[in-house]
Structure 1
């Protein structure tokens, strides 16, 4: 699978970036593992607690969507940090028809708020089709002053 270029992410040219990648089975039980790995990685970066909590929430929502709305057997997560932001990227292996979109869930619905949450706690997010397969890459960026 491919990773969006720095231009697609909105990186500043020449800005130092640090990244880690891991793969997990596309099972609901892997969501907690993905959150834990993100928390551990950001903990080593001396990330602000509020940013860390928001990044963990974003990971949870994006990974859950990949498990729920794709035909993947494996989900790849890429975590990136530079001096201005933390980025969470979730790649699936196969899409069902349609694009991820923010829904307006009713008060009675138990699901359907994931991308609303992501949109409200990040400064930008997006979806990129994988150039080498049927999957997609969904990413979100959170601003931080000191990562």
Structure 2
């Protein structure tokens, strides 16, 4: 099984569903299903949406990486607008937007951002379930 999967989409809202479908397929291929897959897919949707909405670099591409790292899965969304750093915002009960990072914060074990020389990455880390030890039958 591959330890990581990376793909790119054009930085346009119409490509967000494509990213969501690719994330869901990769998770299923890795045997990650159920609520954890839902949480990762929803987080990817929010981070990719933020990248395509807030990236001011024309003709940009968004890079999405999923990586298995021991007991965690790392989701990274890169875009070339390295100076526009994501910030979770306060929002009222009637606010229509601005809840994505708060949602990612609730779903992920941790999240943050890093700057590279030409891009920024917004990442979320998810704890993977610990596999059960096989049970050895006892003598009857």
Flag whether TM exceeds 0.5 (same fold): yes
Q: Secondary structure at the match of 1:108?
A: coil
Correspondence list, 1:36-75, <5 A: 36-72=21-57, 73-75=60-62
State the 1:64 CA deviation: 0.5
Unaligned runs of 5+ residues in structure 1 are 1-16
Counterparts of 1:122 and 1:54, CA distance in 2: 8
Give the TM-score of the pair, scaled to structure 2: 0.85
Please name the residue that 1:77 is paired with. Answer: 64
List structure 1 runs of 4+ shifted beyond 3 angstroms. none
Instruction: Say whether 1:145 aligns with 2:129.
Output: yes
* Bigger-Rg structure (1/2): 2
Contact 1:22–1:77 at 8 Å: present in 2 too? yes
Please name the residue that 1:11 is paired with. Answer: none
Give the TM-score of the pair, scaled to structure 1: 0.81
After superposition, give the CA deviation of every residue in 1:71-114 in whole Å (9 maximum; x if it has no partner). Answer: 242100111123412211000012454x2111111122110000
Q: How many residue pairs get matched?
A: 129
